[in-house]
Structure 1
Amino acid sequence: MLGRLSLVACFALVSLASASPLQLPLGNAPFKVATELEVLSNPESFTTLSNPSLPGYKVRVKPVKGLCDTEVKQHVGYLDVDEDRHFFFWFFESKRDPKTDPVTLWLNGGPGCSSMTGLLMELGPCRPTPGGAGVVPNNYTWNSVSSVLFLDQPVNVGFSYSDDGKDKALDTEAAAKDVYAFLLIFFSTFKRYNPLDFHVFGESYAGHYIPAIGGVIIEGNKDAESEGFPVINLKSLGIGNGLVDPLVQYEYYADMACNPPGYDPVVTDKSTCASMRSKVKTCKSLINACYKYGSPMSCVPGSYYCNAAEISPYQSTGYNPYDVRKKCDSGNSLCYPIMNDIVAWLNTPEIRSTLGVGDIEFKSCNMQVNLDFQLKGDWMHPFVKLIPSMLDEAGVRVLIYAGDADFICNWLGNKAWTLELEWSGKEEYNSAKDKPWTTESGLDAGEFRSYGPFTFVRVNGAGHMVPYDQPDAALDMFSSWLAKTKFTGTY
């Protein structure tokens, strides 16, 4: 889910002029960590994992039984960085066959919003009851076909925290580096998962995070074996209703506000719609400056001007920015009552004790983190430039999906940037036909376009959080993508 400042906007600091992959310096010392048996046998306290080649990084982990999912092995813990930054994670094994099923990392966006939203509102094995007194099973959980790892990042998001309580001026590059270090230690300890296919999925501002994480994994894999690190078997990236290419996407806010295909207009004042359209040229000029120079000075003006020009008019209507069909629920700043239930359940003393989070108070989103990312100029960075090399050189498949009722990272803008992406299959992808998509249960779920390793899926009747609005379709899409049974050029 995306964050909200004085306006709502789609939810880096690395120069992408050359679109070079992010890098994490590796050492040459082998991993010396606690064995998996030691981790599994210590349910009451954390076992600490480390590696001398990753100075400043440690992972605390412990097993959890019967919480949220009573059928599978679970682990919770923290990635500790430089003794003062601590990133919370929660891992669920696959219900089907954890020995052969893939592993998927899930990230929510914001920037500054917790991945526990994905776990407890969208694709995890349970959902809170009204009021947050307990949880009930989610029959459409994604860990029915894949082990799933939920990570709260950057620091001070969800149950993640810093020792002094201050934000560490993070950006997408720093976040990707931390995630990669975590994955190295995780896979070196839980070795049975390391040979399995690995996928990175997320939504919203994760449209920034995921290409960056994919880039640093691919770069790290080049020297991993010689340096004594595990090779991460990255197979695909999946981005739902993401902010990936702002230069293209910001052009489509007026269309989604004033003439959303298949839905009633939200912004009905013609002069307001005309104003939104008239400001696109200036908006794109400012984003272009960010794409060219990449500094905070060149990137911050675009985020503030464009969000005010293209998003604020929608927000002023009182409609849900994540779903053009609904008014924003006044009982929660993020528009959904279930968000209050998630916060209540996670802050229950017995749940906090089981998770080992101490006195950290869970909050869905941290708006100071959101502001910090904006002030670093991260918002308008073109992480889209990392995707072509993944498709053309690294053999990584990329799935872009979008609910058709979302405003904030709408399907119009997402489909548009996939058509403008410069890669070897651009001509064939652009000339491909949109094909209908029907789930195994017979649901008319939407349509897709695909060529080679690249696919775009439009999901019918879903807002920003596709697995929440259309759980059947979301699980069908996810499982079919992993199994390569749909969303291919020959389907």
Structure 2
Amino acid sequence: MKVNIFEHADTQSRIEYVSDSGICETTKGVKQHSGYFSVGEGMNMWFWFFEARKNPEKAPLVAWFNGGPGCSSMIGLFQEHGPCQFYNGANTPTNNKYSWNEYANMIYIDQPVGVGFSYGNNNVSSTATAGPYVWKLIQNFYASFPEYKSRDFGIFTESYGGHYGPGFAQHILSQNKAVAAGTVKGEKINLTGLGINNGWINPADNYKALIDYAANNTYKKLISAQQQQSYLNTYQTRCVPALNRCWQSGSNADCSSAMNTCKSSIESPLSRGNFDVYDVRQPRVDPFPPQTYLKYLAQPDIVSKIGAKSKYQECPNGPLRKFSSTGDDSRNYLPVLNQVVNAGVQVLIWAGDTDWICNWMGNLATANTVDFPGKAKFASSPLIPYTVNGKKKGEFKAVDNLSFLNVYEAGHEAAYYQPEASLQAFIQTMQKKAVFGT
């Protein structure tokens, strides 16, 4: 396998990658690249790029980030919306006709360093400290593949991506201003779209929704009305005051304390029932969707073909511990999301409705409080059916450049369960449109 190695003076970065490995994307003539960008001293960040299957020379560029914090984006690639999927318990992947590279040039990124196939030094301990490395990776990508400069650019993410998405988007927007002013050297990133499914954006909304969903979801009642009231009392007297202290002081100590308080009093006891926190229809002991891809990415010949240099780690503890030390989980990313929406970026907040841990009720509560010119109209608008070719797949509402979509019969990894509806919503957002039924 030919390995391409480049050194870039402008970004002081080393790029090492292989092209057209034949792994995952088997569509004839569709290019792919996988390998590493150095984003700092001894910091090797893994990327896997797939060209769009249609009109790649005009298609937008979209970066995908899984959450965690500290989980690999290979989850999204192999379990959700990448060019291949493991169907019916198969050991080898086959073509996914609903892959997001049907429409966009897709780059899947393992960050921070230490996650997935990324390896080396990791000094990232928060969403705010992660953003600059992501910006640098995109700059390095443009330097290596200049044909993608100035394309429409999107960020799609899930779960802890409720922090990552707004955080990375806002950093890109601020860097664009600095590039325009000449105070930072780099390329403008033409950010046009942001999508967050089952996101952890505003912890106050998310923790309350853990209680509300447990009591009121349409699939599986997890607690009684009496238990619900007890948990809501705990939420108001313990969790909310702790979160407010975190938001007022911004200190690592207050934010870590808030995380420990809310998790121990609400999330942990609620999650002990016999259900999968990512899909309440599934039993606790049977994680879903199946993780067949883990064995695949452990095969030495596959690792060699894609140019990976480290053992794959799906969600290692090291990066998570660093985020915990700063209490990043407790920080509220709604104010940052407000800035992104007000900058004119097309934003989609969406959720699979069988997920408990970052459920649709919490995501809807957050979407309803986004502070933008259409706020009052958005908050008062009802959810209406979301159809795909006339079939009802969920419910949605949209005002201006903000959309909310609740996807029926879909868990945390929404695109796995409802690939057709997810691809439709993805394309609409990257076309700079509010979502709409077809």
Bin of the TM-score, shorter chain as denominator length:
over 0.9
Which of 258, 263, 266 pairs up with 1:307? 263
Residues 65 and 73 in structure 1, CA contact (< 8 A), matched pair in contact too: no
TM-score when normalising by structure 1 = 0.84
Q: How far apart, in 2, do the equivalents of 1:148 and 1:480 lie?
A: 16
* 1:379 equivalenced with 2:329 (yes/no): yes
Q: How far apart, in 2, do the equivalents of 1:273 and 1:64 lie?
A: 53
Residues 79 and 289 in structure 2, CA contact (< 8 A), matched pair in contact too: no
**Structure-1 residue corresponding to 2:36:** 78
Q: How has the CA–CA distance of structure 1 residues 187 and 82 changed in structure 2, closer, same or farther, with 3 Å as cutoff?
A: closer
Superposed displacement of residue 247, structure 1: 1.9
**Structure-1 residue corresponding to 2:193:** 236
Q: How far apart, in 2, do the equivalents of 1:125 and 1:150 lie?
A: 12
Q: How far apart, in 2, do the equivalents of 1:78 and 1:223 lie?
A: 26
**Structure-1 residue corresponding to 2:209:** 252
**Structure-2 residue corresponding to 1:354:** 305
Residues 157 and 165 in structure 2, CA contact (< 8 A), matched pair in contact too: yes
Which of 140, 146, 149 pairs up with 1:185? 140
How many residues are paired up? 433
Superposed displacement of residue 357, structure 1: 1.6
Q: How has the CA–CA distance of structure 1 residues 138 and 159 changed in structure 2, closer, same or farther, with 3 Å as cutoff?
A: same
For residues 252-331 of structure 1, what are the structure 2 equivalents within 5 Å?
252-260=209-217, 262-268=218-224, 272-281=227-236, 282-330=238-286
Residues 37 and 44 in structure 2, CA contact (< 8 A), matched pair in contact too: yes
* Structure 2 letter corresponding to 1:295: S
Q: How far apart, in 2, do the equivalents of 1:299 and 1:357 lie?
A: 36
Superposed displacement of residue 299, structure 1: 0.2
Q: What does the per-residue CA deviation read over 1:18-50, in whole Å, with 9 as the maximum and x for residues that have no partner?
A: xxxxxxxxxxxxxxxxxxxxxxxxx61132242
Which of 376, 381, 386 pairs up with 1:427? 376
Q: How far apart, in 1, do the equivalents of 2:398 and 2:241 lie?
A: 31
Q: How far apart, in 2, do the equivalents of 1:239 and 1:86 lie?
A: 26
**Mean alpha-carbon deviation: is it higher for 82-91 or for 344-353?**
82-91
Residues 272 and 313 in structure 1, CA contact (< 8 A), matched pair in contact too: no
Q: How far apart, in 2, do the equivalents of 1:85 and 1:430 lie?
A: 43
**Structure-1 residue corresponding to 2:117:** 159
Q: How far apart, in 2, do the equivalents of 1:169 and 1:459 lie?
A: 33
Q: How has the CA–CA distance of structure 1 residues 485 and 155 changed in structure 2, closer, same or farther, with 3 Å as cutoff?
A: closer
Superposed displacement of residue 389, structure 1: 2.2
**Structure-2 residue corresponding to 1:25:** none
Unaligned runs of 5+ in 1: 1-42
Q: How has the CA–CA distance of structure 1 residues 387 and 129 changed in structure 2, closer, same or farther, with 3 Å as cutoff?
A: closer
Q: How has the CA–CA distance of structure 1 residues 131 and 439 changed in structure 2, closer, same or farther, with 3 Å as cutoff?
A: closer
The alignment partner of 1:180 has SS state of helix
For residues 461-472 of structure 1, what are the structure 2 equivalents within 5 Å?
461-472=409-420
Q: How far apart, in 1, do the equivalents of 2:197 and 2:298 lie?
A: 28
* Structure 1 letter corresponding to 2:97: N
The alignment partner of 2:330 has SS state of coil
Q: How far apart, in 2, do the equivalents of 1:400 and 1:280 lie?
A: 24
Residues 132 and 344 in structure 1, CA contact (< 8 A), matched pair in contact too: no
Q: How far apart, in 2, do the equivalents of 1:469 and 1:129 lie?
A: 12
Q: What does the per-residue CA deviation read over 1:145-197, in whole Å, with 9 as the maximum and x for residues that have no partner?
A: 1111000011111111126xxx5352111211100001111113312111221
Identity of aligned residues (%): 33
Q: How far apart, in 1, do the equivalents of 2:110 and 2:160 lie?
A: 13
* 1:409 equivalenced with 2:367 (yes/no): no
Superposed displacement of residue 62, structure 1: 2.8
Q: How has the CA–CA distance of structure 1 residues 400 and 285 changed in structure 2, closer, same or farther, with 3 Å as cutoff?
A: same
The alignment partner of 2:187 has SS state of coil
Q: What does the per-residue CA deviation read over 1:192-225, in whole Å, with 9 as the maximum and x for residues that have no partner?
A: 1112211000100011111111111111112325
Q: How far apart, in 2, do the equivalents of 1:49 and 1:383 lie?
A: 36
Which of 46, 57, 63 pairs up with 1:99? 57
Q: How has the CA–CA distance of structure 1 residues 169 and 212 changed in structure 2, closer, same or farther, with 3 Å as cutoff?
A: closer
Q: How far apart, in 2, do the equivalents of 1:122 and 1:422 lie?
A: 31
**Structure-2 residue corresponding to 1:35:** none
* 1:63 equivalenced with 2:19 (yes/no): yes
**Structure-1 residue corresponding to 2:425:** 477
Q: How has the CA–CA distance of structure 1 residues 294 and 59 changed in structure 2, closer, same or farther, with 3 Å as cutoff?
A: farther
**Structure-1 residue corresponding to 2:387:** 438
The alignment partner of 1:371 has SS state of helix
Residues 17 and 307 in structure 2, CA contact (< 8 A), matched pair in contact too: no
Q: How far apart, in 2, do the equivalents of 1:255 and 1:229 lie?
A: 46
Unaligned runs of 5+ in 2: none
Q: What does the per-residue CA deviation read over 1:112-171, in whole Å, with 9 as the maximum and x for residues that have no partner?
A: 1110000000000112367774211112111101111000011111111126xxx53521
* Structure 1 letter corresponding to 2:306: L
CA RMSD of aligned residues (A): 2.0
Q: What does the per-residue CA deviation read over 1:297-348, in whole Å, with 9 as the maximum and x for residues that have no partner?
A: 1101111111122212232113100111111234xxxx23622x11110110
TM-score when normalising by structure 2 = 0.93
* Structure 2 letter corresponding to 1:248: D
Q: How has the CA–CA distance of structure 1 residues 256 and 377 changed in structure 2, closer, same or farther, with 3 Å as cutoff?
A: same
Q: How has the CA–CA distance of structure 1 residues 138 and 294 changed in structure 2, closer, same or farther, with 3 Å as cutoff?
A: same
Q: What does the per-residue CA deviation read over 1:216-253, in whole Å, with 9 as the maximum and x for residues that have no partner?
A: 11111123254552211110110000000112221111
Q: How far apart, in 2, do the equivalents of 1:62 and 1:173 lie?
A: 31
Residues 49 and 58 in structure 1, CA contact (< 8 A), matched pair in contact too: yes
Residues 132 and 342 in structure 1, CA contact (< 8 A), matched pair in contact too: no
Q: How far apart, in 2, do the equivalents of 1:144 and 1:410 lie?
A: 28
The alignment partner of 1:77 has SS state of strand
Q: How far apart, in 1, do the equivalents of 2:336 and 2:351 lie?
A: 20
Q: What does the per-residue CA deviation read over 1:35-78, in whole Å, with 9 as the maximum and x for residues that have no partner?
A: xxxxxxxx6113224243x45x4332331332111221001111
**Structure-2 residue corresponding to 1:171:** 126
* 1:195 equivalenced with 2:150 (yes/no): yes
Which of 299, 302, 313 pairs up with 1:363? 313
For residues 128-147 of structure 1, what are the structure 2 equivalents within 5 Å?
128=86, 133-147=91-105
Q: How far apart, in 1, do the equivalents of 2:415 and 2:148 lie?
A: 25
Superposed displacement of residue 481, structure 1: 2.3
Q: How far apart, in 2, do the equivalents of 1:376 and 1:338 lie?
A: 32
